[in-house]
Structure 1
Amino acid sequence: MAAADKPPRYEQSGNMNMNYGCVGLGLFAAGLAMPASAMSEAEFRQMAAGIFAPVIAEHDIPGLAVGVTWQGQDYVYTAGMADRAAAVPVTAETLFELGSISKTFNVTLAALAAQQGRLSLADPVAAHLPELKGSAIGSVSLMDLATHQTGGLPLQVPDEAGDDGTLMRWLEDWQPVPSQGERSYSNVSIGLLGRIAARAFGEPYAEALRSHVLHPLGLESTHVDVPAAEMPRYAWGYSRRDDSAIRVNPGMLDDEAYGLKSDLHDMLRFLRVNLGDTDVPPKLRDAVTQTHAGQTGTQHFQQAMIWERYPWPVSRDQLLAGNAAEMVMESQPATRLERPDLSDHAVLFSKTGATNGFGGYVVFIPAEDLGLVILANRNIPNPARVDAGLALIEAVLQADE
């Protein structure tokens, strides 16, 4: 295994009450920038603490884990508590709920099934779920599911679709909404894709994902269902509504859409895989690469298979606009590209994820050989995650100037 595959496990329990005054994130980050050859783990932790301290204070974040992989080196900063009641600190081994970041693994499984000839992403849904033949959703392609290009599927599975039978009946009756935009961010669409991909392997989703993606990628701390022996590592999330300790509730298509839990080390490794810095089986490498190709164009970014592609360098305003609430909660115009955009040199790939008690953000930038992970056990607003993440990326890159 290459040296980059075994990063040093640096971690720091930060001071949740550090006071950095009213210095802007960008100015603070620039002030801490240093030559890359001189950037130690301690200096990185100082940089991250300065950027994230105002976010921690504003949103009362119980615990936080932030990691950057850059030019073959991993840097880790942690702060606060994974379990407030038991006074368990966050470490780089703490398991956080990934929320919709889980979707990036789902599409990797689907792309692998395509690479192995088990399905085609151009197939209609009904080719794999024949009970939906003749329905509107039955004619939607698997690639459309992977890019939210369904013209009106709701964000969440409806309450009345509480089991497989009622879900299929609801899907049979569903109709697109012509007045809405083509892109509808949806747990239903990605959930169906995961179910179809797992069926192509002849296995339940959790088993298929573990056997064909997680284990081959060396992600041994990423789980749909956290094993009993690993439960002490599983953080509690904390509700924004009443600060109660919570974890994700089971629901239809939850495993496929938002069900993964992982730690900082595995997520940094996953980003190194996406950056091409880690050896993986060839067909799995091709599947990962396939998920990066731009498929549709929206107002703010190109939509790939779940990954959102921004030009690099990207402006703060564009990145925040692409991560605004309406991009998730409302259907948006999106136009299919004439051909997939396979370029990745001047691209920032981005994905947020959240459950009721957790909030995360992942980014990778191939041109900079850089990836970023933010994991928190509070569902903080997307703009706060994105703004702080971009500030840290800029600070790290300024360290190379």
Structure 2
Amino acid sequence: MHAGTVCVALAVLASAGRAAPPGQADFDGIFARWSSASAPGCAVGVEDRGRAVFRAYGMADLEHDAANTPATIFEAGSVSKQFTAAAILLLAQDGRLRLDDDIRKYLPEMPDYGAVITIDHLLTHSSGLRDWGFLTEIEGWPRTTRAMTQSDILDMIARQKRLNHRPGAEYSYTNSGYSLLAIIVERVSGRSFADFSRDAIFDRLGMKSTRWRSDFRQIVKGRAIAYAQSPTGYVQRMPFEDAIGAGGLLTTVGDLLIWNRALTAHGLGSFVAAEFERRGTLNDGRRIRYARGLRIENRGGMPEISHAGATGAYRAWLGRFPDAGLSIAILCNAGDVGGSAVGLGYAVADRFLPAGKAPVAKPVPVDLSRYRGLFAHQGTRLPLAFAMDGTALLAGNRAVLRPIGPDRFLMGDDLLIFDGPDRLRVEDADGNIAFYGRVSAVASVEAQPYLGRYASAELGAAYSVERRDGGIALRLERRPDIMVPLRPAYRDTFLYDTRFGPNTAIVRFIRDAAGKIAAMDVGWNDRVRDVRFDRTGP
């Protein structure tokens, strides 16, 4: 056994269970990178048809030499969303609200956007609401740098004058919806979200180590500290905020297995069980793979119900494969696990699931050179570049496109269809359909027309556009350390890097009738589109 590793032997949870075949429970090698007495790590729980095995790796607290154990408490990130969904569904089951209710019935602070946003839009990420966490980053206050409260979040969301898209038109993941759902639970139940969840869910199911992080200052015995890597070693990166609903669940792998078992057994009632896994439906009838706080997936022909989580430097994944009787919980306090723990979860699952047969696509002879160029998303306006690399066609993220027919390609799980030389349609695995149009790439621009001060009433922030290193950059007022170089993409449109990678944020300058720059719109990935900054001076 590696240093920093704790093993708990197989425990019988049901007399009808079967022992795991030899080698299946031996997944120490998957976590070897985090099995150290000088690094953070993970805890893992696996239940295979009534028998469970637990492992723990690495350290919970590097300052006090405390190792992770299967009983260590971690924060679950967006795995928390299914518990918020459960609270809403329990209220609906009791007739205290309806899933098709207008959210303004409970949240009168929210603007009228000209189209009703329902509770179910929030549950299925189809509301169009901008993600509040990304809005704070545009303000210059990334998550973990400012102690946001639920009231702060409601105020920020309510100040947004526009949506990313019309409610129900698209799937667009947003933490804003689940933050609002927690507030709705409080207003409908007349109790704090933490108290309602404790009585209706945690205590009811026997999840003795689970609660919401309602006050980040509270001492939590047995909690792992979250650590991120830095040039000088590990540093703490904790979610110091009182924001819950979208995240903020404190729990253990053992409690998460109890939760999965309860969902499989319909332990919260027939209505909750039926609605929990009902995939969302968009306005045009398309079904998405997101249900209510859960993703309905398929792995190697096997139905999968799961969700990943990441907050601060915590990482999590919770999944179950009902047909195989398999349930897996992974909680980590190591930020270098990556953006999520999905890969670890699948690596563990593959030790138990039968090997799936991936279909092999036959090569299709296609003249790939005609697809080269730059295309812009009609919603986010983010560009997607296609270039030739020898005989392969590459997308901007260096993904290789596999031709499957005339004008049709696969990019991972996404289907790309070129409708003529200048138009592209992308059908992604989530159920969305996005349209792109060809644009002309720009390598350099004259800085002078863009220089000036730009302010946003929606955020209460202002940027100055200044000359920098032969180009232009954004400088955030009153935050001298924040200077963002902009790279030209196409006419009046620039890109910059975020923590999600290169060219994941966009700045689009807007011209008035006379052709002069009057404003700029800022967006981050797909979660925030077109935040307006009006030009207020030179």
Q: TM-score, normalised by structure 1?
A: 0.72
The structure-2 alpha-carbon separation of the partners of 1:63 and 1:355, relative to structure 1 and needing over 3 Å to count, comes to same
Matched, 1:182 2:182: no
SS of 1:92's partner is coil
Q: Distance in 2 between matches of 1:178 and 1:83?
A: 43
Cα displacement (A) at 1:61: 5.5
Could you tell me which runs of 5 or more consecutive residues in structure 1 were left unpaired when the two chains were aligned: 1-12, 18-35, 315-345
Is residue 245 of structure 2 the alignment partner of residue 267 of structure 1? no
- Cα deviation for residue 347 of structure 1 reads 2.1
> Which residue pairs with 1:73 in the alignment?
51
Alpha-carbon distance in 2 for matches of 1:375, 1:107: 20
CA distance in 1, matches of 2:336, 2:287: 22
Tell me: CA distance 1:170–1:72, structure 2 relative to 1, closer, same or farther (3 Å). Answer: closer
| Larger strand proportion of the pair | 2
Classify 1:210/1:157 alpha carbon distance in 2 versus 1 (closer, same or farther; 3 Å).
farther
Query: Residues 271-292 of structure 1, C-alpha deviation per residue, up to 9 Å, x if partnerless?
Result: 111222xx735x3x53244211
- Does 2:27 match 1:48? yes
Instruction: Give 1:194's aligned residue.
Output: 182
Q: CA deviation at 1:263?
A: 0.9
- Counterpart check, 1:244 vs 2:223: no
Could you give the per-residue CA deviations for residues 209-241 of structure 1, whole angstroms, max 9, x where no partner exists? 112111112111101149999733111110234
SS in structure 2 opposite 1:65?
Answer: strand
Residue correspondence of structure 1 range 263-342 to structure 2 within 5 A:
263-276=252-265, 280=267, 283=269, 286-296=271-281, 302-313=289-300
Cα deviation for residue 51 of structure 1 reads 2.1
Aligned partners of 2:214 and 2:244 also within 8 Å: no
* 1:86-235 correspondence runs (5 A): 86-132=64-110, 135-136=112-113, 139-156=116-133, 158-159=135-136, 164=151, 167-168=154-155, 170-171=157-158, 173-178=160-165, 182-225=170-213, 231-235=220-224
Provide Cα deviations, 1:246-273, integer angstroms capped at 9, x if missing partner.
Answer: 432114xx12111111011101111111
Query: For residues 43 and 14 of structure 1, do their structure 2 counterparts lie closer, same or farther at Cα, with a shift above 3 Å needed?
Result: farther
- Inter-partner Cα distance in structure 2 for 1:99 and 1:307: 13
| Aligned-residue offset at 1:383 | 6.9
Q: What whole-Å deviation, never above 9, does each CA across 1:367-399 have from its counterpart, x for those lacking one? A: 111111111101245577222321221212359
Deviations 1:40-68 (A, max 9, x none): 8x9555x21022225x379x951211111
Partners of 2:45 and 2:329 within 8 A in 1 = yes
* Partner AA of 1:103 in structure 2: K
Letter in 2 for 1:52: F
The match for 1:356 is: 312
Larger helix share, 1 or 2: 1
Equivalent-residue separation in structure 1 for 2:239 and 2:337 (angstroms): 18
Aligned-pair CA distance for 1:165: 7.2
CA contact (8 A) 2:310 2:340 kept: no
Q: 1-side partners of 2:62 and 2:347: how far apart?
A: 28
Q: Which amino acid aligns with 1:116?
A: D
Contact 2:24 2:351 in 1 (8 A): no
Q: What letter matches 1:233 in structure 2?
A: G
SS in 1 for 2:300: coil
C-alpha change, 1:351 and 1:300, in structure 2 (3 Å) is: farther
Distance 2:35 2:322 in 1: 32
Q: Which runs of 5+ in 2 are unaligned?
A: 6-16, 140-147, 356-538
Structure 1 pair 230–287 and aligned structure 2 pair: CA distance change class (3 A): farther
Which of the residues 343, 346, 349 maps onto 1:390?
Answer: 346
SS in 2 for 1:255: coil
Normalised to the residue count of structure 2, the TM-score between the two structures is 0.54
Q: State the distance in 2 between where 1:306 and 1:197 align.
A: 15
Letter of the structure 2 residue corresponding to residue 50 of structure 1: G
Q: 1:375 to 1:162 in 2, by over 3 A?
A: closer
CA distance in 1, matches of 2:24, 2:278: 32
The superposition leaves residues 161-200 of structure 1 with CA deviations (integer Å, 9 ceiling, x where unpaired) of 8773783475154311349972221111111012112321
Q: CA contact under 8 A between 1:61 and 1:376: conserved in structure 2?
A: no
